[in-house]
Amino acid sequence: MRTLALLLCLATPLQAQEVDLELVLLADASGSITQGEIDFQRESIATAITDPAVLEAISNTLTGSIAVTYVEWAANQATVVGWTIIDSPETAEAFAAALLGPPRLATGRNAIGNALLEGKRLIETNDIPSLRQVIDFSGDSTGNFSGASIEDARAEVLAAGIVINGLPILDEGPDDPLLQEYQDRIIGGPGAFAIPALGRQDFVTALRRKLILEIAGQVPNQITPVSAP
């Protein structure tokens, strides 16, 4: 019980300290994602956020800290873990532990525009000052079946000065057109980029690499970054 209380305390982001980066992790939980894949995505985030290289990238930022929230999206959006300031291995472990317990809360078909707008709302309504704000969008398609259009939502997010990065899951292999679709329709803002995961097996590696780049404010060399329109 004392261990659980400590984890909950560490994972409660009530401090209004300045962080280097506010990062909304928007993860696909639509009908194409099975419960096993939901669990795998959460476990992958837990593994990546506690990776020594990721923790080193956080410690090397100007403030030595970032704020992260994990949200699953489908027809609706559901916050799995609220805003958490990560500034140590202990706070990273607390965030990771909090990811693994909640049930699936987002269901239905894609509402990508609404998901992007929810990421914007979460950034604009918290009380955490930051130097940079990023929405990290992952999924396996760009189908949009309800809610705001991708184009309108993306434009609204970018107008607010928030960068959108992407992690497309290329289930059809290297020739899957989804990466190009993410570059054309999803990502945007100064230095925005998409790092593809070649199927589920590559998800953890791609995620860890993307987190390190986002935290450091860098872009990958082999993928052309997209600037704000």
Size (the chain), residues? 229
Identify which of 55, 62, 44 has the alpha carbon closest to the alpha carbon of residue 87.
55
What CA dihedral angle connects 108, 114, 120 and 125, to 10 degrees?
-80
Identify which of 71, 98, 130, 99 has the alpha carbon closest to the alpha carbon of residue 10.
98
pLDDT range class, residue 12, cuts 50, 70, 90: very low
Say if residues 131 and 63 touch (Cβ distance below 8 Å). Answer: yes
Q: Is the pLDDT of residue 228 over 60?
A: no
> Is 225 a domain residue?
no
Q: How many domains does the chain have?
A: 1
Distance CA 22, CA 228 (A): 19
> Is 110 a domain residue?
yes
CATH classification at residue 59: 3.40.50.410
> Is 224 a domain residue?
no
> Is 163 a domain residue?
yes
> Is 188 a domain residue?
yes
DSSP string, 137-191: EEES-----SSS-HHHHHHHHHHTT-EEEEEEB-TT-TT-THHHHIIIII-BSTT
> Is 186 a domain residue?
yes
pLDDT score for 72? 95
The percentage of residues in the chain with a pLDDT greater than 70, rounded to a whole number, is 88
> Is 227 a domain residue?
no
Number of neighbouring beta carbons within 10 Å of residue 187: 23
**Could you list the residue range(s) of the whole structural domain that residue 33 is in?**
21-87+96-216
pTM of the model: 0.86
Q: Is the pLDDT of residue 1 over 60?
A: no
> Is 1 a domain residue?
no
